[in-house]
Structure 1
Amino acid sequence: MVGWAIAVHGGAGVDPNLSPQRQEEAKQLLTHCLNLGISALRSNASALDVVELVVRELETDPLFNSGRGSVLTANGTVEMEASIMDGTKRRCGAVSGVSTVKNPISLARLVMEKSPHSYLAFSGAEEFARQHGVEVTENAYFITPDNVGMLKLAKEANTILFDYRIPTTGKCAGVESPVKMNGLPLSVYAPETVGCVVVDSEGRCAAATSTGGLMNKMSGRIGDSPIIGAGTYACELCGVSCTGEGEAIIRSTLAREVAAVMEYKGYRLQEAVDYVIKHRLDEGFAGLIAVSNKGEVAFGHNCNGMFKGCATENGFFEVGIWD
């Protein structure tokens, strides 16, 4: 038997001038979610159950960009996406374009367990949710004053906003702002996708990721979070959840790459994370959390700060934003 381990994130790329109050709110939420996961693991819950439990909690709180706190599309609506993966048999489920489901991560698990498919999107995902009695709500539930204000800023600037708290000048990984995505300038950079990875005491790994995507994104845009192997991946060796510039994460198949270099190069978990962050993102910015079947935990990012936390069965507990 191995010792269990859990890691959680609320996005990579953080304003160094983020107010102390906001930093404390983020750390408190991550601490709460870790404690929730720890309690479940101590009660012998499976890794899969724990990642769903923790991400549901993050989706319910509007602090980060998922569920209740999802950013708005150019049309002023939400199009949420999520995925979950069970490493023991490499089973997975994913959804995107969801606009009424309170907890997209649980819908993703239902897709994995109750459908013949791995991925459902838009009206098909919504219909599947209704068929299985998933809790839904009006779109207004997701439209918070903060996100309405951010969308207004984005439209005025005629650009995509990742998050309004990031200044338009400064450096991210030594690169002068403004940050660009696919060659186009972004006003700000601070994705706040959420995710959780767990290895339980039986050595079973699982991963889950959920997001609202990009503020002012085109309707129909799908990022890395629901794409297995890009934003989320779990296998016998590890579980990985990514956050950041979705297009770069997709191109690099970032989550799967961590498992691949462990499998084919024989790297330990942190070595694998460091390798893919350095060699697979090209000019993109991203971060990730990972656990291994040996009870290891690892983080990696190439931008300024990451909302993250982890805990292990031997008593280690850490929540932070900066390196």
Structure 2
Amino acid sequence: MGKWAIAVHGGAGVDPNLPLHRQDEAKQLLARCLHLGINALRSNLPAVDVVELVVRELETDPLFNSGRGSALSENGTVEMEASIMNGPNRQYGAVSGLTTVKNPVSLARLVMDKSPHSYLAFSGAQDFARQQGVELMQNEYFITEDNVEMLKLAKEANAILFDYRIPTIGSETCAAEADNPITMNGLPISVYAPETVGCVVVDQEGQCAAATSTGGLMNKKTGRIGDSPIIGAGTYACKVCAVSCTGEGEAILRGTLARDVAAVMEYKGLALQEAVDFVIKERLDEGKAGLIAVSEKGEVAYGFNANGMFRGCASEDGFMEVGIWE
């Protein structure tokens, strides 16, 4: 029997001036999800079931950017995406462009388990959701007042906004401190904080799994797909480890971030935290991101090059941490 470990995240890149009560809310949600996962692991639930369970909880709470509370696209609707991967057989399921599915991660799981494919998107994914009888909600269910206001600000600023909780006009932001505004693919963004959610788990059998879910970017182009549903970029699990990433999707995609953690462990023989540190330092170029990871040995690790990452980690050894900053 091996040792279990679990980590959750709610996004990398946090406004330094985020009010303390909002920080506390985030920590409480992460702690709740961590305990949910720990109890499931103690009940001998397989890793892949645990990551789905935890990410469903994160999707249902509007605090972070996934499921209910997802960022809004340029036309004011949600386009959600998610993926799940089971390490032992490297099977995965992924979905993009969801507008009515209450729990995108569970539809990704059904794509993995109940379809001949690995990835379904847009109208095809919605059709599959109806066939599978998953819970569907009106688009209004996913939309929060905060997000409607942030989309308005984003359009006024002609920018893609990373965080729906940070006022951007007339406020002191990270961008204002720099001589040059922060850009992504040449377009201005306000403050770097995407707040995708994810979970990685290794169970007592030493089996690893990962899941990631997101609403994407505020004011994103309709049809934009980020790193979260892309295997090897935002999500990866194999025999040696499981990884879930968050941050600037375009940079994570270019760096094949999640797969590279596994690759340097497999091919360079690096330990888990060494692998995470190496990938964050060497593979992101100018991009900002973070990731959580577990190994088959029951280790847990995280890393980020943004100014913070909403995260929680726990292991069977008794280690437990919930934090935001360095």
TM-score under structure 2 length normalisation = 0.96
**What residue in structure 2 maps to residue 73 of structure 1?**
73
Which residue identity is paired with 1:89?
N
CA contact (8 A) 1:37 1:50 kept: yes
Q: Structure 1: which amino acid aligns with 2:275?
A: A
Query: What secondary structure does 1:68 align onto?
Result: coil
Report the counterpart of residue 32 of structure 2 in structure 1.
Answer: 32
1:50 aligns with 2:50: yes
Q: Using the TM superposition, give the Cα deviation of residue 157 of structure 1 relative to its aligned residue in structure 2, in angstroms.
A: 0.6
Q: How do residues 1-323 of structure 1 correspond to structure 2 at under 5 angstroms? A: 1-166=1-166, 178-323=181-326
> Contact (CA 8 Å) 1:169, 1:176: kept in 2 or not?
no
**Count of equivalent residues:** 322
Deviation at 1:284, TM superposition (A): 0.5
The CA distance in 2 between the partners of 1:17 and 1:165, in whole Å, is: 11
Matched to 1:126, the amino acid is: Q
TM-superposed deviation, 1:69: 1.0
SS at match of 1:69: coil
Deviation readout 1:87-137 (Å, 9 max, x if unpaired): 000000000000000000000000000000000000000000000100001
* Counterpart residue type for residue 279 of structure 2: V
Counterpart-to-counterpart distance in 2, 1:313 and 1:281: 31
Cα RMSD, aligned residues only: 1.4
Residues 161 and 189, structure 2, Cα contact 8 Å, conserved in 1? yes
Q: 1:291-313, CA deviations, whole angstroms, 9 ceiling, x for partnerless residues? A: 00000111110010100001111
Q: Deviations over 1:143-191 (max 9, x none)?
A: 110110110000111111011444675659x976632212222122111
* 1:242-267 alpha-carbon deviations (Å, 9 max, x no partner): 00000000011100000000000000
AA matched with 2:20: P
2:71 and 2:164 in contact (8 A); partners too: no
Partner amino acid, structure 1, of 2:92: C
The residue type paired with residue 252 of structure 1 is G
Listed as ranges, the gaps of 5+ residues in structure 1 are: none
Q: Is 2:146–2:164's contact at 8 Å kept on the other side of the alignment? A: no
Q: Secondary structure at the match of 2:68?
A: helix
What is the alpha-carbon distance in structure 1 between the residues aligned to residue 272 and residue 178 of structure 2? 27
% identity of equivalent residues? 78
SS in structure 2 at match of 1:190: coil
- Opposite residue 289 of structure 2, the aligned amino acid is A
Kept in 1, the 8 Å contact 2:276–2:302? The answer is: yes
For the residue of structure 2 that corresponds to 1:213, the secondary structure is coil
SS in 1 for 2:213: strand
Where do 5+ consecutive residues of structure 2 fail to align? none
Give the partner amino acid of 1:259.
A
SS of the aligned residue for 1:242 comes to strand
